[in-house]
Amino acid sequence: MPAKLTHDDLYSLEQYSSMRPDYRSKIMAHKKIRIVHLGPHAALHFEDRMTMQYQVQEMLRAERIFEAEGIQEELDSYNPLIPDGSNWKATLMLEYDDVEERRLALSQLIGIEMTAFVQVSGFDRVTPYANEDLIERETEDKTSSVHFLRFELTPEMIIAVKNGAAISVGIDHPYYKHEIEALPESIRASLANDLG
């Protein structure tokens, strides 16, 4: 099971500043094999310990946080997004460049987070537990452009993925339906590494 991040895993602001360009390019290459684009306006960013360490380091840098209490707050915010060995955790991003198009789409896509799914070949679809950070992400008239999802897998699914089973990912909302029937091997293998 991937360990949660602690203070000891983090670089000081000074260390991080000097290493940031190289570290950032390494993280961007890693993220590339963990992003699944679903149609023109949605993407699932599958998170892991590495992507979360980057988020924490970037937050500490941006906010100039160096006190232990502030660092712990960031760790407490981002550690829940690290997979626990029996699940995948992802950020669902809805992206529309045009403001008016985004306003209309977000009003039509209420509940979209609950229609996302992953499916291990030979098994039923798995729909997510959504927005467990308890921040209200939609109102009566629109949804948020960012949702946090947890896909919980059965032991049998985990064994199948570890043995090379194909993984499909999609969204099945009345106003937005897109599916990738089999993830590329680079992404499939990266997601397999999240499982204990």
What are the tens digits of pLDDT across the range 47-77? 999 999 999 999 999 999 989 999 999 999 8
Look at residue 132 in the predicted model and tell me its pLDDT: 78
Please provide the average confidence, as pLDDT, over all residues in the chain.
Answer: 93
Residue 182, pLDDT above cutoff 70:
yes
pLDDT value at position 134? 58
pLDDT at residue 138, as a whole number:
61
pLDDT: which is higher, 34 or 141: 34
pLDDT tens digits, 102-121 = 999 999 999 999 999 999 99
pLDDT of residue 17: 94
pLDDT tens by residue, 80-109: 999 999 999 999 999 999 999 999 999 999
Question: Locate tokens 């949804």: which residue?
Answer: 143
CA dist., res. 188 & res. 168, Å (int): 9
Domain 38-47+84-196 fold is Immunoglobulin-like (2.60.40)
pLDDT digits (tens, 9 = 90+) for 144-166: 899 999 999 999 999 999 999 99
Provide the residue ranges of all domains of the chain, joining segments of one domain with +: 1-32+49-82, 38-47+84-196
Residue from 104, 116, 117, 170 nearest 143 by CA? 104
Output the CA angle 124-133-143, nearest 5 degrees. Answer: 75
State the Cα–Cα distance between residues 188 and 71, nearest whole angstrom.
33
